[in-house]
Structure 1
């Protein structure tokens, strides 16, 4: 569906079901250089099991108009504006990679509106390797190759996929290629510059789950600890869920495991 957010058209995928704000709402926020389609499986799973799903293309991404926003804080403001435009008072947030920083910042600055938080492939801070920043700015094809190499496990690189006949790395390559010029460089720079993640985490007081790919090279398990510890006010502590055998692109490599973990957390007390 389409909404006007800050007077600019935005596209939102609703998981194949009409959006019903009377149901528990969950907003799925994609990562750098991507769009809503990274959530296709999880969005459908949630939408067909009692949730109202909003998986937006962030500004300047996919089918959403406007320019990509330059900071995580600006993206968090946009998510708040999206909730207003959709007439949503309370929502759970889930974000992957860059999207996890956006979800974290949104939950910190709008605590009365956010019910639960799911951070997938997340660390804070989230520094980006200088060669990747440089490639994203000046050699997109090289940047796409780096991201594919670091996001997927060796099995996926060799063609393994939970969906027969689908090349996960090929699919991700096309997804990144169809974004407008400058989007990936903008997004990676926003991740690299965002230094408020641990302060934001210290203000979170709603249930939080952290999904980490067992073989994630971009946000590895050992790097997650500072963020998990900063979420000290979260009831019961931030719940760590390790997605076995998956890398950073865990929604694609382990769609069932990620969907199960998300649904299980969202329906838990």
Structure 2
């Protein structure tokens, strides 16, 4: 589905079902140098089991036009404008990595718009090493390879995981390369810099009152468990689910992630 947001095209995958604003809505927000396709399994299931789905391509990513936004706050404002364009008054927000910061900031900026908040592969502060920032700016192919290696647990490197013909690590690398091909404006650096500079996470987390779910990868080297305590302490009512994966948990453990998300989404307050 193509929407006009801030004067340019914004693409949302709807899970293979026509969008129906009368249904409860779930909005899926990808991370750095990715697009809506990272949510392929989860979004299609949601769309065929009673939910509207908007799996967004952030500006400058995938099929969405315009330049990549330089801050989490700007991305949150864009997301709220997208909800307005779609006619969605209130939604479950599901964000991965950079997308989790966007979801968190949106819950803080417009709490009435967020019914539930699901944060995957999240941490705060989401600092990026200076060496990786510089690689993203000056040698993007190397930065893609580094992040791709660090984002996966060893089991994901098996070509048969999680099923015949599915290569999680290769698919993730190719997606990041494609984002570079379709938008040469240093999207990876812009995304990383936005994560690195976001300074409102603690205040945003302290303001969250809606039901919250954290899903963490037990072998995540990008946002390791030891780094998540500020968020989980600030949102003390949040439920924590751990899956046996690295940072790319939606691909490495798609069923476990889906089960946790869908059970969370179906709680009574998520659909009222």
Q: Secondary structure of the equivalent of 1:178?
A: helix
Give the deviation of 1:161 after TM superposition: 1.2
Query: What's the TM-score, normalizing by structure 1?
Result: 0.96
Give the deviation of 1:157 after TM superposition: 2.4
Query: What's the TM-score, normalizing by structure 2?
Result: 0.95
Give the deviation of 1:159 after TM superposition: 2.9
Show the counterpart of 1:44: 44
Is the contact between residue 118 and residue 209 of structure 1 (CA under 8 Å) also seen in structure 2? yes
Show the counterpart of 1:187: 191
RMSD of aligned alpha carbons: 0.9
In 2: Cα distance, 1:85 partner to 1:125 partner = 31
Show the counterpart of 1:197: 201
Show the counterpart of 2:266: 267
In 1: Cα distance, 2:76 partner to 2:160 partner = 35
Show the counterpart of 1:249: 248
Is the contact between residue 59 and residue 65 of structure 1 (CA under 8 Å) also seen in structure 2? yes
Q: Equivalent residues in 2 for 1:1-269 (5 A)?
A: 1-179=1-179, 180-181=183-184, 182-232=186-236, 237-243=237-243, 245-269=244-268
Give the deviation of 1:68 after TM superposition: 0.3
Give the deviation of 1:160 after TM superposition: 4.4
In 1: Cα distance, 2:252 partner to 2:160 partner = 9
In 1: Cα distance, 2:68 partner to 2:221 partner = 26
Give the deviation of 1:163 after TM superposition: 2.6
Which segment is superposed worse, 76-85 or 155-164?
A: 155-164
Is the contact between residue 60 and residue 66 of structure 1 (CA under 8 Å) also seen in structure 2? yes
For each residue in 1:158-179, what CA deviation from the matched residue of structure 2 results, as whole angstroms up to 9, or x when unmatched? 4341131122111111100111
In 1: Cα distance, 2:193 partner to 2:128 partner = 8
Consecutive unaligned residues of structure 2, counting only runs of 5 or more, are none
